[in-house]
Amino acid sequence: MNAWAYLGVAIVAEVIATSALKASSGFTQLVPSIVVIAGYGTAFYCLSLALRSVPLGVAYAIWSGAGTALIALIGVVLYKQKLDLAGIAGIGLIVAGVLVLNLFSRSATH
């Protein structure tokens, strides 16, 4: 698997773990708590593998930005949380930043 695939797996695992963190109710629910631990373990392991090739700043910006946007979407869809216009704009800017890094920055290829 290449570094970008590892980064993708790290993002998905982190999003799953963070979603389960809410369901764990402060680690009082066993199954969601196990998902949190396994998810974050997988996320950090895959992120460490991605960092063999992807620069730290680029990898972290993509990992955290994509994760933030996905968690906000999950919050709206699964947990019925509301986003106001400022929240939507902010998340849009995060997504735009991730896209700019991936599509236009030469930093991502070094």
Residues of the chain above pLDDT 70, percent: 97
d(CA 14, CA 48): 13
Percent of the chain with pLDDT over 90: 79
Q: What is the pLDDT of residue 108?
A: 62
Q: Give per-residue pLDDT as tens, 71-106.
A: 999 999 998 999 999 999 999 999 898 888 878 877
Name, in order, each residue with C-beta under 8 angstroms of 79's C-beta and a sequence gap of 6 or more: 22
Count of all residues that appear for the chain in the document = 110
DSSP string, 7-59: HHHHHHHHHHHHHHHHHTTTTTSHHHHHHHHHHHHHHHHHHHHHTTTS-HHHH
- Domain edges within the chain: 3-109
- pTM of the shown model: 0.87
The widest CA-to-CA distance across the chain, in whole angstroms, is: 45
| Structure confidence at residue 1 as a pLDDT band (50, 70, 90) | confident
